[in-house]
Structures are given as C-alpha cells and as structure tokens.
Amino acid sequence: MTDQKDPKQKASRLSFLRRPSTHYSLGAILIVGIAAGVILWGGFNTAMEATNTETFCISCHEMGNNVYPEYKETIHYTNRTGVRATCPDCHVPREWTHKMVRKVEASKELWGKLIGTIDTREKFEDKRLTLARREWSRMKANDSRECRNCHSLESMSSEKQKQRARMQHKMAAEDSMTCISCHKGIAHHLPEGMTEEDDE
Amino acid sequence: MKKIMMANAVGATLALTTLNAMAAAPADWSAVPAIETGVFYPGVSPVEWVTKGTEHGGARVLRKGETCAACHSEEIADMGEKMVSGKKIEPSPIAGKAAFISTTVQAAHDGENLYLRFSWKQPAASGNPPMDELNPMKIAYMLEAGDKVALAGQAGCWASCHGDARTMPGADANKTKYVKDGSLAGGIYYDLNQWRSGENKSFDGYVANHREMEGGQALAGADGKLEGDTWSVVFTRKFTGGEGDVVLVPGSTYNFGFAIHDDATSGRFHHVSLGYKLGIDSEGDITASKL
C-alpha cells in the first residue's frame, strides 16, 4: 500500500505549473512585461517621433541655415488658409514600415553631420544637386507618396485652379504622371546644373 | 513648286491689270467681326527657353502638341506684368513700360485681297530714350502656311525668336531673326508684313534662315493713323505674291501672330501675341469672311 504512488504526484516535472505561486508569478511577469513593453515601445516611438519634427530637423545648422529659409518663401509654409507642411510631411513616410526604412537610411546623415560633409554654405551648394536628385528619385520611386498624403488629382477643383494648372493636371492624370516630375523646386530652391534628365 | 509658280504668274498678271487694291478696303469696319486679344511684353523668352523643361513647365505640354494659348490665353496680361517688372526672365526691365496692350483684330477679304485691321490704345510712354529714332510705333504680323516651320502651328511667331538674335542678351548685333532649317525653296519660312509709323511705309519680307524686310510682292500697302490715343492700322495684302509670300487660299487656315513695337523700341523690346489661326472663310481664332 505504501508503494502505491499518489496520483497527484504524477508528471512531477510540470506539476509546478499548477501551483498558485506559479500562477501569480507568471501572471505578474506577464502584466509587468506588457506594461514595460508598452512603456518601452511608447518610449521608442516618442523618441523616434521627436526626430520627426521640424524643430529637430532644423536644429542642425545644415538644414536650419540652408533649406529652411528657402522653404519659408514657399506656399507650403505660408498660404491664405494657414495650412503648413513641415519637413517630415514631405521627407518622412507616414506608414510605419516605410518610416522605419527611411529612419535607418537617415542614420547615414548622422555620420555626415559628424564629419561635416555639408557644414558650410559652399559645401552645401556644391552638393545641392546631388542631394536634390537623391530626394527626387526617392519620390519618383514611391510615386510621390508623401505629396499624396495631402494632395490628389481626383479631388482637385478645376474651377479653383488657373487655366495653366488645369491643363497640366489634366495631362498628368491622362499620362499617369507623378507629382515630383513637374513640381521640383516647390519647397526649396532649384539647384544649378539641372539637365534634361532632371525634367522627367 | 509648280503651283507657286502658276500662282505667281497669275498674281503678277492681276497686279498689272487691277486697279489700286487699297481702294477695296472696307469703308465700315464696324460690321466686321472683331477679336479682342492683346500683345504682352515677352522678356527674354526665346524658343530655346520655351522648349526647355527645367525652365518652362509648358515645354512638356508643347511636346504633346498643344498650343501656347491652350494654357496661357487667360493670363496674357499677368504674364506681361511678370516680365515687364523684371520678376521673371527680364534682366534689364524698363521702368514705365506697358505690360500688355489690349488689341482688337479684324479680318476680311474680297476674294483677291486680305484686309487686316489692328486697333489699340497707345500706352503711356515709358520715358526711356527711343531705340528707333524714326518710328515711335511699328506693327507687324507673320503668316505661316502648312506647319512647315516647327512650332509655328502652336506658338505663332515664336519659332523665329532665338537667344542669339540681335538685342537678346549677349547676342551678335547683326544676327537677325531666323527659323530652324529655314529655307524659301523648301517652304520653311514666315511671311512678314510690317508698317512703320514714322516712315509711314509698309514692308513685305520673310523670315527663313535669316530675316529680309523687303522683296515680297503680296503686301499692297498699309494705312495707319493715330486718332487721339487710338491707333488703327489696316493692311491690304493680295492673296498671292512672289518668293517669300504665303499664298492665301479661301477655305484654308494659316498660322498667325502679330507684334507691336510701342514706345519707339526695336528688336526684342516689342509686345507680342500668342500664336493664332487665321482662317480665310474657315474656322480659326480669327476668321476673314468675304465682304
């Protein structure tokens, strides 16, 4: 009789899982883990979104002294309805996956800042065409996705547009063109040395 | 070629046997339909600029075959204003120069002659020293047949405007207007008619690979007068002429543009029109109907 094993003591390896203390501790770890995850993820996101603001962008003098004053002369900064598009609206994708890709690419800019590739006006002007072409090809490749965050050919009002704009947008719709093909220089000065290929 | 030679022979015969064509111009122009348009100050906008996409967004539209007027017809005065003030493509703006001159254009014919009347209000003088001492005002128009001159069907006279022509910045003072691949023999030319106010004389020439002011035989004459501050100039042009004269045939349309050298200017400092279609008894921006 004493050699009969207690059925409750079967599968002793995993039996600890049934103990209340296990339940409480695992439960606590889970809840704390979820909370910590939220805090960490939220923290990560907050930090990342902090790099997604105009204030952050222009905190580097390379941007603040060169392209920022140029942008302030344009309609994306000042218009009659007071609606503004700031740096990230055009240069950082809204969708999470594309945003992550762009942010990883942008880490190269930290390196550039460190070694000062465009830290003087002259260096910036020399590199302006290269930098512009980089953005133009990025925008062309994603079919002007950032422009389409706000604008769409379908919702344009032909009554409110001037004859010239009406004609051009009608053609753009017919030929399935992308915004950046024509609207280079919409927010910053056009670089010198543009060629016919830049007109595509 | 044979057709042109035949037309020349007929024209020459007619010219010898007909009475002074000037006598047949309409006495009462108020019955002739009028087009209200205008000429604007064009700054430095040669065809090289117009067709360069990185400078002029309309280059793409032109490549698709559209006319300048398709985008610009509603904003001629605004364009003139941008350029005359120096805001765009005008390195040496002249203070006080008009941006735009509203002009009434009328056309009619009597089977043998085309009558063109231009009427406009003289803008205030800019005070700039005269470039043309003899002529306070000149008016000219160009005709082109068959779209042989590239862009003539879309841009009117613009195909004759080049960055290296005299009075353009940095250009040779002796190089006249010209058209690409221009050749009289090949039919690639503009027929040019002009009236000068000071000399009170009309000129019939052409623009092929260079510009000739004289030698044409189609222009019978021009009658211009200033009444108060309103100009009225009537050109009488025979349907046929000689070398360098476009042959006008009822039922056809022709590429057309006109320009006014206001304020005793010369060279590029004129006010110009967009390109239009002139129809002889046929539909166009301007139609010359039989009187």
Residues of chain B falling short of pLDDT 70: 1, 4, 6-23
Nearest CB to B64; choose among A162, A171, A182 = A171
Mean pLDDT of all residues in A168-193: 93
Q: Is A162 on the interface with B (CB under 8 A)?
A: yes
Helices (H) and strands (E) in chain A, counts: 9, 0
Nearest CB to A194; choose among B54, B64, B75 = B54
Q: Are B29 and B117 in contact (CB under 8 A)?
A: yes
Task: Find, in chain B, the residue whose alpha carbon is nearest to that of A171.
Answer: B61
Task: Find, in chain A, the residue whose alpha carbon is nearest to that of B74.
Answer: A163
pLDDT digits (tens, 9 = 90+) for A145-161: 999 999 999 999 989 99
Nearest CB to B73; choose among A163, A168, A198 = A163
- pLDDT given for residue B29 in this prediction: 94
What is the Cα–Cα distance from A116 to A94, expressed in whole angstroms?
A: 29
pLDDT digits (tens, 9 = 90+) for B77-112: 999 999 999 999 999 999 999 999 999 999 999 999
Residue B77: φ, ψ to 5°: -65, -40
User: Considering chain B, what percentage of its residues have pLDDT values greater than 90?
Assistant: 89
How many CB pairs below 8 Å do chains A and B form together?
A: 33
Sequential DSSP letters for A13-26: TTGGGGSHHHHHHH
What is the Cα–Cα distance from A157 to A145, expressed in whole angstroms?
A: 20
How many CA atoms lie less than 13 Å away from B104 in the CB half-sphere? 16
Which pTM does this prediction carry?
Answer: 0.84
What is the Cα–Cα distance from A129 to A68, expressed in whole angstroms?
A: 17
B34-40 and B138-144 beta bridge pairing: unpaired
Task: Find, in chain A, the residue whose alpha carbon is nearest to that of B75.
Answer: A163
Which chain A residues have a beta carbon less than 8 Å from that of B59?
199
- pLDDT given for residue A5 in this prediction: 56
Q: Which residue in A73, A163, A200 has the most chain B C-beta atoms within 10 A of its own C-beta, making it the best mutation to test that interface?
A: A163
Residue A17 pLDDT class (50, 70, 90 cuts): confident
What CATH code would you report for B2-24+33-290? 2.60.40.1190
Q: Is B77 on the interface with A (CB under 8 A)?
A: no
Task: Find, in chain A, the residue whose alpha carbon is nearest to that of B61.
Answer: A168
Q: Is B72 on the interface with A (CB under 8 A)?
A: yes
Q: Are A167 and B66 within 8 A, CB to CB?
A: yes
Query: Which residues, 6 or more positions from B278, have their beta carbon under 8 angstroms from its beta carbon?
Result: B107, B143, B253, B254, B255, B256, B284, B285, B286, B287, B288
ipTM: 0.80
- pLDDT given for residue B155 in this prediction: 96
Q: Is B65 on the interface with A (CB under 8 A)?
A: no
- pLDDT given for residue A119 in this prediction: 94
Nearest CB to B61; choose among A162, A171, A198 = A171
Domain boundaries, chain B: 2-24+33-290
Instruction: Give residue for tokens 């190269």.
Output: A108
Q: Is B58 on the interface with A (CB under 8 A)?
A: yes
Query: Cα angle at B203 between B201 and B207, to 5 degrees?
Result: 155
Q: Which two tokens stand for residue B288?
A: 């010359």
Q: Are A149 and A142 in contact (CB under 8 A)?
A: no
Which of B289, B217, B227, B287 is closest to B10 using CA atoms? B217
Q: Are A99 and A43 in contact (CB under 8 A)?
A: no
What is the Cα–Cα distance from B149 to A108, expressed in whole angstroms?
A: 53
The number of residues in chain A equals 200
Q: Is A129 on the interface with B (CB under 8 A)?
A: no
- pLDDT given for residue B12 in this prediction: 61
Which chain B residues have a beta carbon less than 8 Å from that of A168?
57, 61, 71
What is the Cα–Cα distance from B261 to A39, expressed in whole angstroms?
A: 75
Q: Which two tokens stand for residue A120?
A: 């003087």
Taking the CA of residue B134 and the nearest CA in chain A, the distance in Å comes to 40
